[in-house]
Amino acid sequence: MASDTWKILLLRLRHHLPKMLGVAVLSTAVAAGCWLAGGLGLPVLERALYDRALTTFTRSKGQSADIVVVAIDQSSLDGVRDNPAYARDFGPYPWNRGLWTRVVEELANQGAKAVLFDGVMMDEPSTDESTDAGFAQVLKDTGLPVYLGVATHPRAAPLPKVEPVHPPPAPDFGEGADVMMAMARVLAFPVKTDGRALPVLESELLPGARQPNHLVPPIAPLLAEADGFGLVETEPDPDGVLRRTRFAYTDGANAYVTLPVAAAADFFGAGELVFSGRTLRLGSRELKVNPDGSAELDFGGPLHERFPIVPVVALLDAWSLRQEGKPPTGGLGIEPDLFRGRLVVIGPTALGLGETRVTPFGSSAPGLSKQLAALENLLSGRFITEAPFWVSLLFALGLAVLSAVLLMTVRSPALELAWLLLLVVPLSFGVMGASLALGRVHVLAALPAAAGLLACLGAMASNHLFANREAAFIRQAFSRYMEPRLIEQMIEENQLPKLDGEERELTAFFSDIRGFSSFSESFQHNPRELVRVLNQYLTRVSSALLNEGGCLDKYIGDAVVCLFGAPINHTDHAVRACRGALAAQAEVAKLRAEFRAKGMPDVYTRIGLNSARLFVGNFGSEQLFDYTAMGDGMNLASRLEGANKSYGSLIMIGPRTYELARDHIEVRELDRVRVAGKAEAVTVYELLALKGALPAQKRWTVQRYHEALALYREQRFAEAAGVLKAQLSEDPEDGPTAVLLARCQKYQEHPPAHFDGVVSLEK
């Protein structure tokens, strides 16, 4: 049964594969068109799936070993305000640069590798210019590399075009110097774009109205002493979520890099930023990027999970303790050597400072989360990049093909619903998650999900609106005659019955109950019980035949007519018919035991099998037809069933059946017979068992019978009778031995006038 099921599935796949592929290709093409046009909400779905995959599959364990965050958090705001000395020296937030002087000095003393200021703009002079000078002096004296974030604004003065070099020459802000030119040389960065256009610095004041932005340079003392400057653009996606970064921008005149790139350029010894294809090169570092020069950020988790965080006020306290000659880390929550050899990023985390942003890991993340992720990705040498579109398209096609093939092959309503609702999107999501986790590659999920869903709908439409119409007719017509799995096989092989019929070789099965008239007489006072018993008999015999692929032709009272090899063209129809006949006899043997236990009369079933070319089809009208076969072969099968009575056998098969199934069955050659109306004699056989299943005693009986049959055909009747008589004493229940013995004894007493060894079967 399992093999038949697989055969049906393979047949469906073979016959409908072009249609399945057509559905898949069309679905993929529609989904790709919608993706490119931004239809069906696919970009929104993609962003949602990407965020969930990022948070599910890429969350890192442990904190960064390279970066420490110095946070302008609420505890620092409160600590500076509540400390009279700090409040006097630094004022309210934003604090004067005297505070940052102490912070940088303390970080230098604790061995920090470099400092990046994000969200702390240094573009306006302090009211006390001495604090600006003091901050610039500490940058010079400590030698600690410091990188400042640079903001942009539409009303800022544009900088002139320059030929940038890195590191830039010391700026000249003396009397008569071109200050704007000096600023441009410091802030611009050499970028080679390989022909691609850099994104333009601009802002959207009103919906649809954009205008260029220009850099707001830091104050002159810091331009001269800081080691680098970088943009701190927000770079949100259309839905406002921070997911990606660009490494360089232009204001139409010069190129400017982002703050993480400005710092990383010095770490990697870079004199320029170079884009080439999908590669970004920064000194010794080479990274994969998207075709437009962007890259998606691998956040690794929320800021508080990824980085050690120290409040600014803790560093102020550490500086104060150091001035007093006390250990600068005791009781401040600063672990020994926390800053040694690490990059320090300073930025606001307090909610009231207006730097809250949305990331895949949270709806209220500090703005510096983006710069931290970009810096860490630069240091690790790996961002998340989009897979080439053809990869996602191929994945979409593969999922569409899988959906169409699966649903159009299995054709299960339950599977259709499960695959449609539960598996397509999770499968796309799982592949996206695996690509992010294993390769930090963003394979699209919304496009494949849409292609898969459209393919599901196309497959379901094909199943229910087209393929099932003709199949439903066949199922209804043959449901009472054949096993459902064989009907499905017939449909998939496109072997649909025709009213005008066809000629093919098949094996006909006839069976009848011996002594049914006597059997039925015992129920003359209870005819309902007779009907129940007969139905039980027919059901069990029919089931045995259907399990072997037979097609029930008709019931004639207690007789069963069945066809093997039609309407399904089984090439092993003779073997199937033999197996079915033996299985039917086994079911009858069980019924006999049940009847005996109930005190009911004993019954036997006689069976005739014959293989021949017959005319088979639906004989009848458009309104009512009967699938049957016609021809001499059918008549011979019927005659063989009746001839069992004359030979004392149970299953008699014709010569063609024996020829086709001889390698699979055990038989006894019974005789050569001549059918009424036919001059040609045929050899008939008794089917005894499947190959290798005949008991040794019965095998010996058959062997002795064949010896006697050979003597009989030589008209040595006395010798044949001697062999048969001796064997009958050992196997007294063997009917064919008793029948041939009686015939030999008859001919021994009354020799025939004309003997040819052939017996004529009566009508």
CB 188 within 8 A of CB 241: no
| 286 and 411 housed in the same domain | no
| 506 and 408 housed in the same domain | no
Q: Is residue 203 part of a domain?
A: no
| 372 and 272 housed in the same domain | yes
Please give the backbone phi and psi of residue 344, each rounded to the nearest 5 degrees, phi first. -120, 125
Last residue of a domain, one of 380, 412, 445: 380
Higher-confidence residue of 11 and 107: namely: 107
Last residue of a domain, one of 380, 412, 439: 380
| 550 and 667 housed in the same domain | yes
Residues across the chain:
763
Q: How many other CB atoms sit within 10 Å of the CB of residue 337? A: 11
Angle at CA of residue 269, ends 264 and 273, nearest 5°: 65
Q: Is residue 492 part of a domain?
A: no
Q: Which helix (H) or strand (E) holds 27?
A: helix 2-37
* Each residue's pLDDT tens digit, 586-636: 999 998 888 888 877 777 899 999 999 988 877 666 556 677 888 888 989
Q: Is residue 164 part of a domain?
A: no
* Each residue's pLDDT tens digit, 726-744: 999 999 999 999 999 999 9
Residue 470's pLDDT band (cuts 50, 70, 90): low
| 685 and 700 housed in the same domain | no
- CATH code, domain carrying 514: 3.30.70.1230
| 681 and 704 housed in the same domain | no
pLDDT at residue 518 is higher than 80: no
pLDDT at residue 330 is higher than 90: no
| 552 and 615 housed in the same domain | yes
Q: Is residue 487 part of a domain?
A: no
Q: Is residue 472 part of a domain?
A: no
Q: Is residue 232 part of a domain?
A: yes
* Each residue's pLDDT tens digit, 290-306: 999 999 999 999 998 99
Residue 499's pLDDT band (cuts 50, 70, 90): very low
Q: Which domain holds residue 453?
A: 2-51+391-466
pLDDT at residue 1 is higher than 50: no
| Lookup result for tokens 């098969």 | 653
| 46 and 117 housed in the same domain | no
Residue 418's pLDDT band (cuts 50, 70, 90): confident
- Total of domains in the chain: 4
pLDDT at residue 437 is higher than 70: yes
* Each residue's pLDDT tens digit, 241-274: 999 999 999 999 999 999 999 999 999 999 999 9
* Each residue's pLDDT tens digit, 121-137: 898 988 888 899 999 99
pLDDT at 410: 81
| 549 and 637 housed in the same domain | yes
* Each residue's pLDDT tens digit, 170-223: 887 766 668 899 999 999 999 999 888 999 999 876 666 788 999 999 999 999
| Lookup result for tokens 């090439």 | 571
| 297 and 357 housed in the same domain | yes
Q: Is residue 204 part of a domain?
A: no
| Lookup result for tokens 């979409």 | 396
Last residue of a domain, one of 353, 380, 407: 380
| 412 and 544 housed in the same domain | no
Angle at CA of residue 691, ends 690 and 697, nearest 5°: 85
For 402-413, what is the mean pLDDT? Answer: 83
pLDDT at 8: 63
Q: Is residue 716 part of a domain?
A: yes
pLDDT at 364: 86
- The model carries a pTM of 0.66
CB 408 within 8 A of CB 459: yes
**What's the CA gap between 226 and 238, in Å, rounded?**
34
| 355 and 444 housed in the same domain | no
